[in-house]
Amino acid sequence: TGEPWRSERLLLNREALAPDAIPALVPPLSAVGEDFVRRARAQASQSGRGSWSGDFSQELFRFALESVCHVLYGQRLGLLQDFVQPEAQRFIEAVARMFHTTAPMLYLPPALLRRLNTRTWRDHVQAWDAIFAQADKCIQSVYQELRLRRRSAQEHVGILGNLILRHKLPLEHIRA
């Protein structure tokens, strides 16, 4: 809270949102976009009608999550594959549940939901626990790869990996 939070937030904004940071984000986003288009074409050809026949919104959701994770953590989760690993599937479901449970909190105070220990509150907390667990796993993985030099600084290591490389924030602050 306070000034430390504000200064770290400004640092993150400069790392992720500054105009000179954008060109570095294009290659990872392009890679995910190309995979998505390839998947869409394969799905359309498999349908026999030459058009997409599945739930397109779910595919877009998976595309968005894969893109965000690749940009933030420098890692792909495999969300655009025909078979999604169980851990990645739990992440998809946790993000969907977080969005679903956030809507009621716009109308009812979260403190009230927490005090009453409602199902909405419990589901929301469980979703965030799963999201943070996935984020922590990705951050730890990038940290280990960089520390053991399995990845070079020239590779895409994500926004958080760049923060680690340049020692801009302590690891605990990056995780938070």
Predicted pLDDT of residue 35:
94
More confident residue, 100 or 165: 100
| Proportion of the chain above pLDDT 70, given as a percent | 97
- CA distances to 4, 35, 77, 154, 158 from 26, rounded to whole Å, are 30, 14, 18, 15, 12
Average pLDDT rounded to a whole number, residues 160-171: 82
> Does the pLDDT at position 31 exceed 70?
yes
> Does the pLDDT at position 42 exceed 80?
yes
> Does the pLDDT at position 105 exceed 70?
yes
Predicted pLDDT of residue 153:
62
| Proportion of the chain above pLDDT 90, given as a percent | 39
5-18 pLDDT, tens digit per residue, is 888 888 888 777 77
46-69 pLDDT, tens digit per residue, is 877 777 777 788 889 999 999 999
Cβ neighbors of 77 (< 8 A, separation 6 or more) are 65, 66, 69, 85, 88, 91
pTM attached to this predicted model: 0.83
Name the residue ranges covered by the structural domains of the chain: 3-173
| Architecture in CATH for domain 3-173 | Orthogonal Bundle (1.10)
User: For the residues of 64-128, what is the DSSP string, one character each?
Assistant: HHHHHHHHHHS----TTSSS--HHHHHHHHHHHHHHHHHHHHTTS-HHHHHHHT-HHHHHHHHHH
114-151 pLDDT, tens digit per residue, is 999 999 999 999 999 999 999 999 888 888 888 787 76
